[in-house]
Structures are given as structure tokens and as C-alpha cells.
Amino acid sequence: SQTIHQWPATLVQPVGSPLSLECTVEGTSNPNLYWYRQAAGRGLQLLFYSVGIGQISSEVPQNLSASRPQDRQFILSSKKLLLSDSGFYLCAWIGIGLGMNTEAFFGQGTRLTVV
Amino acid sequence: AQSVAQPEDQVNVAEGNPLTVKCTYSVSGNPYLFWYVQYPNRGLQFLLKYITGDNLVKGSYGFEAEFNKSQTSFHLKKPSALVSDSALYFCAVRDPAGGSYIPTFGRGTSLIVHP
């Protein structure tokens, strides 16, 4: 079965420090991968999505970047964190091989607090 | 373009009573519709989806949703609410005619079930 792993679960980082959040998927190949940010426990803001290795689309200009070094690995990064980067980050995937009607599967999320 | 609206920020219901969480959508063609649930500090979990066929869709944990094309709605329902149903609920839409694998999520509705 397909599973998605996201870590770490919580992270406290000082302003100006770098960031690396990792997401990996098991049990599928060539998934579409997504990074979302959720502020204040409400709506989801799409940050990046990727349809394949090395292919990254950015939805919102910001202090973050994403990379997809392997088919089932999606990384969210920052060189210097800002206070406004605090939030709940979620990784998700949709298996395009299963057709467009497939639901999204989400990781457990990372609670990032920038201090 | 695709969009989805959840008109209620919060829904309060007594345990044992029926519950409804509202969702309306806008797409150019026939929509793919989804409901997800999120518990505190967790990722979203898939509840149910409508792709085609019977307008009444049954999902996990006793939830169901009714697709109403004329009213462009996909309300989530449960005949008898449990305290454990208290969570954040997200409606999502995807427009297959638009060719995008990116779902659009609503802002979320907080469901509070009182004992």
C-alpha cells in the first residue's frame, strides 16, 4: 500500500537559520507531490508542486524553495528563515498513474516555529 | 478555473444530532469532489469522494455527502454526531476538464460536537 512520510514532526528554529523538511512516498511511482502551508489551523496554501524529478512549480513567491532529487522524495528548504515562515507544513501526493480522480494523501505535517 | 467555498467557519451540534457541513463549488465542467478531515496537529485524512454515478456518496466513519449539480453543492452529512467527530473539515474540488492535478481546497469548517 502507499504511504507518505514527513519529518520532523516539530521544529523550532531561530530566525536566519536554514530549513530542510523532507517528504518521501512509498508504494507508488511517479507521483505528483505538493507542499502546503497551513496558518492558524485553517486554510491550505499551496507552496510548490512537482510532477517529476527536478520539476518544481512555485505557486507563491517567498523565502522558501523546493527540490525533487528522486522520484519519491520532495524537500522544502530555506536558506534563512523568517518569523513569518512559522506554520504547519504538509506534504501530499497524488498518483497520476491512478487517474485524475484519485484523492490526495497527506503526511502527518511539520509544526515549524521560528523564534 | 475551479473554486470551492465553505460558508461556515464553525458548526456546532449536540452529540446524537445530525450534522451538515456545507460546501459549494465552481468548475467549468463536471467536478471531482472530495472531503477531508483534519485532527489537531495532524495531516488531512480522506473521507469520501464523488467522481460520477450515484449522487449520494458514503465514506469513512459514517459520513456521507450528496452531490447536487443544480445547486453546485457537496454537503457533508452524518445522521448522528459523535464527540470524536470534532475536527476541521475540508472540501476540495478538481476540474478534470481543466487538466490540472492540483486540487483546490476550501478554507475549512471547524466542527464542534458537544456532549
Residue A65 to residue A56: CA distance in whole angstroms = 9
* CB spacing of A100 vs B94 below 8 angstroms: yes
Q: Which of B32, B43, B51 sits opposite A90 (nearest CB)?
A: B43
Chosen from B37, B105, B109, B111 to mutate, greatest number of chain A CBs within 10 A = B105
In the predicted model, is pLDDT for residue A99 greater than 70?
Answer: no
Min Cα distance A94 → chain B (Å) is 8
Q: Is the pLDDT of residue A45 over 60?
A: yes
Cell numbers that stand for B113 in this block: 460536537
Each residue's pLDDT tens digit, B66-115: 999 999 999 999 999 999 999 999 999 988 777 677 889 999 999 999 99
pLDDT-derived band at A42, boundaries 50, 70, 90: confident
Q: Which residues of A39-52 are buried (b: 16+ CB within 10 A; e: fewer)?
A: eeeebbbbbbbbee
DSSP conformational letter for B71:
T
